[in-house]
Amino acid sequence: MHISLLDIVFPATCIVCGAKPKPICPTCLPSACVAELPGFDFPVLAGFKHEGAIEKVITGYKDQQLVSLEPPLAKLVAQVLHEVGVSRFSAIVTPARNHLNYRKRGFDPANSLVSRAVRGLAKPPKVISLSSTRKLEDQRRLGRLERARNVSESMKLDLKPSGPVLLFDDVLTTGSTIREMSRACRAAGVEVGASCVLAERFSIF
């Protein structure tokens, strides 16, 4: 596991309620409620709305580099994968790494979470990251149309799985990344069986 300086310097307190001495209290960890999102031409399912406790945990992990939150988040990802039926897929595909964000964090959230989440499976599917065809801007600074332009034609699949794949990302905001992931897989001749995200703040409007 990656070790964050913040995890070492500051005493562990629950990211949700502030109690000590754990990064999150068991009672503060929410349970997934998987629902399908509208507006896509393939199934896209989300475990949570990106709000409340789950938003605090994801933000602490991604933006504050509190990697001690990775195990509990991975448990939630495992819940989502179970509900989606991960055993139906030959591989799980994650987005191409944003190298700017990777340098800031020192880890790739989507790939790290799903890789940890499948460890407990009897036959874990292969986890494959798409590769980048060019540099990307930080999506958080961009609006809907800008996000779509930023990721358009930016990913490719180098390793072709033997069957349908499940796309996975940690947070879905506009759907641009998931759509580009689907395009890249289909361009490589790979069937996209479904997509899932840990949390969504998506709106079709």
Q: What is the pLDDT of residues 42-67, one digit of tens each?
A: 999 999 999 999 999 999 999 998 99
Question: Is the residue at 8 inside a domain?
Answer: no
Question: Is the residue at 6 inside a domain?
Answer: no
Q: How far apart are CA 1 and CA 67, in angstroms?
A: 8
Question: Is the residue at 178 inside a domain?
Answer: yes
Question: Is the residue at 12 inside a domain?
Answer: no
Average pLDDT, the chain: 89
Question: Is the residue at 11 inside a domain?
Answer: no
- One-letter identity of residue 171: V
Query: Which stretches of the chain are assigned E, i.e. beta strand?
Result: 35-36, 44-49, 91-94, 126-129, 131-132, 155-156, 165-172, 192-200
More confident residue, 98 or 7: 98
Question: Is the residue at 3 inside a domain?
Answer: no
Confidence of residue 1 (pLDDT cuts 50, 70, 90): very low
Q: How far apart are CA 59 and CA 78, in angstroms?
A: 19
**Which pLDDT value is given to residue 191?**
96
Question: Is the residue at 22 inside a domain?
Answer: no
Enter the pTM of the model: 0.88
Question: Is the residue at 205 inside a domain?
Answer: no
- Residue 152's domain is classified under what CATH number? 3.40.50
Summarised one tens digit per residue, pLDDT across range 11-37 is 578 999 999 878 899 899 999 999 999
Residue 10 has pLDDT above 80, yes or no: no
Q: Of 40, 38, 58, 39, whose CA–CA distance to 48 is shortest?
A: 58
Q: How far apart are CA 164 and CA 167, in angstroms?
A: 10
Summarised one tens digit per residue, pLDDT across range 163-179 is 999 999 999 999 999 99
DSSP at 131: E
Q: How far apart are CA 146 and CA 76, in angstroms?
A: 30
Could you give the number of structural domains in the chain?
Answer: 1
Q: Within 10 Å of residue 15's Cβ, how many Cβ atoms?
A: 24
Domain with 167, as residue range(s), is 32-61+69-200
Tokens of 148: 């779509």
DSSP at 124: P
Confidence of residue 106 (pLDDT cuts 50, 70, 90): confident
